[in-house]
Amino acid sequence: MALNDSDEILAVKAAELYYEAGKTQDEIGVALNVSRWKVGRLLVAAREHGFVRIEIVHPSARKFSLERELCSFYGLEDAVVVPAAESDSDVQARVAQAAADYLTTLRPVPRTLGVSWGRTLHAVAARLRPGWAVGVNPVQINGSVSSTRQATAAADTAVVMARKAQGTATLLPSPAIFEHAATRRAIESDRSVQSVLELARNANAYLFSAGTVDPSSVHVDSGYLSAEDVLALAAKGAVGDVVGRFIDDTGQVADPELDSRTLGLSLDELRNAGTSIAVIAGEAKHGIAHAVVASGLCTTLITDESTANDLLGRAPNMRKQMS
């Protein structure tokens, strides 16, 4: 609607009465001596011309414009972006809840859901409501058994998801990282491990997060790596890990020797999946988030506003590199 000076003033007044004073369109029409139809047109014009900005501030609200941009530039099938929060713990909680909500509405329902493990997915499982689905069977897609309490937490993720969906969890009875590649190959050839990996490779969808490459890594907590190990990985160009595999900023394996000792779904298998959902949030994970989406490791990204803006901020530089 084109506005002359008189209509612009009326549009501002109508918006003030409607949004600030809580008046109905009939009441505004009486106050401004115009028809109810005219009031409706003025309110539309106020939004179109930027006189009014509508912002949804509920913690579960989503940033749809950022989601569209992420999908457009990175070729994602879907994206979920939650608003910024005052603390990192609040960000993590919002993203975990968003991931739980996304799983609940995912269609078709994935009868076999491949899941990794870690703090983020543990939080997602905790936020799923009982009955979030019926007959979903989670299967672990990377090893988790270790000598620390993290092994229990890793198993809990799949078990809790299954229990709340009246399904059955299939756990991968193996460490994530071995001392020797030969040991990994021997364990991987075991019939019980093979059967789980085969089930994982045929999952209908995958849900995973990504880890940092610093002493706070879950792999350090689990006893697989030392703080010195992850610092050495960072020196080799690693920006984080996905399903236990440390990658560089191009999404390639950062340390082939370490990767040869790692058991679980491969990066190529993840890239070739029809539905792979990455849940990544927080400033510390900006680098690994970019590596994941830019290298095609996920079809859907669930993240926070800050990470989304960082990803989009890298877009112009990527265009220059590709041109």
pLDDT tens, position by position, 9-55: 889 999 999 998 999 999 999 999 999 999 999 999 999 998 888 76
| Percent with pLDDT over 70 in the chain | 91
Q: How confident is the model at residue 321 (pLDDT cuts 50, 70, 90)?
A: very low
Cis peptide bond N-terminal to 108, omega within 30: yes
Q: What's the 3-state SS for the chain?
A: CCCCHHHHHHHHHHHHHHHHCCCCHHHHHHHHCCCHHHHHHHHHHHHHCCCCCCCCCCCCCCCHHHHHHHHHHHCCCEEEEECCCCCHHHHHHHHHHHHHHHHHHCCCCCCEEEECCCHHHHHHHHHCCCCCCCCCEEEECECCCCCCCHHHHHHHHHHHHHHHCCCCCECCCCCCECCCHHHHHHHHCCHHHHHHHHHHHCCCEEEECEECCCCCCHHHHCCCCCHHHHHHHHHCCCCEEECCEEECCCCCECCHHHHCCECECCHHHHHCCCCEEEECCCHHHHHHHHHHHHCCCCCEEEEEHHHHHHHHHCHHHHHHHHC
Tokens representing 145 are 């058994």
Q: In this predicted structure, what is the pLDDT of residue 215?
A: 82
Q: In this predicted structure, what is the pLDDT of residue 168?
A: 96
Q: In this predicted structure, what is the pLDDT of residue 106?
A: 92
Q: How confident is the model at residue 219 (pLDDT cuts 50, 70, 90)?
A: confident
Q: Which CATH class is domain 64-322?
A: alpha beta
Output the average pLDDT for the chain: 89
Chain segment 78-123, per-residue pLDDT in tens = 999 998 887 888 999 999 999 999 999 999 999 999 999 889 999 9
Scored b (16 or more CB within 10 A) or e, 40-69 reads ebbbebbeeeebbeeeeeeeeebbeebbeb
- Provide CATH code, domain 5-48: 1.10.10
Q: In this predicted structure, what is the pLDDT of residue 111?
A: 96
Q: In this predicted structure, what is the pLDDT of residue 116?
A: 94
Structural domain boundaries in the chain: 5-48, 64-322
Cα–Cα distance measured from residue 156 to residue 110, given in angstroms and rounded to the nearest whole number:
19
| Interhelix angle 119-127/150-164, nearest 10 degrees | 30
| Percent with pLDDT over 90 in the chain | 70
The dihedral region occupied by 240, where left means phi > 0, alpha psi between -120 and 50, and beta the remainder, is: left
Residue 291 has pLDDT above 80, yes or no: yes
Chain segment 229-242, per-residue pLDDT in tens = 989 999 999 999 99
Cα–Cα distance measured from residue 12 to residue 21, given in angstroms and rounded to the nearest whole number:
13
208 compared with 156, residue with greater pLDDT: 208
Q: In this predicted structure, what is the pLDDT of residue 57?
A: 63
Q: In this predicted structure, what is the pLDDT of residue 226?
A: 86
Which among 100, 69, 56, 85 is positioned nearest to 306, based on CA atoms?
85
Residue 315 has pLDDT above 80, yes or no: no
Q: In this predicted structure, what is the pLDDT of residue 319?
A: 43
In the predicted model, what is the mean pLDDT of residues 170-192?
92
Q: In this predicted structure, what is the pLDDT of residue 153?
A: 64
Q: How confident is the model at residue 245 (pLDDT cuts 50, 70, 90)?
A: very high
Residue 322 has pLDDT above 50, yes or no: no
Reported pTM: 0.81
Cα–Cα distance measured from residue 134 to residue 289, given in angstroms and rounded to the nearest whole number:
31
Decide: 267 and 242 in contact? Cβ < 8 Å. Answer: yes
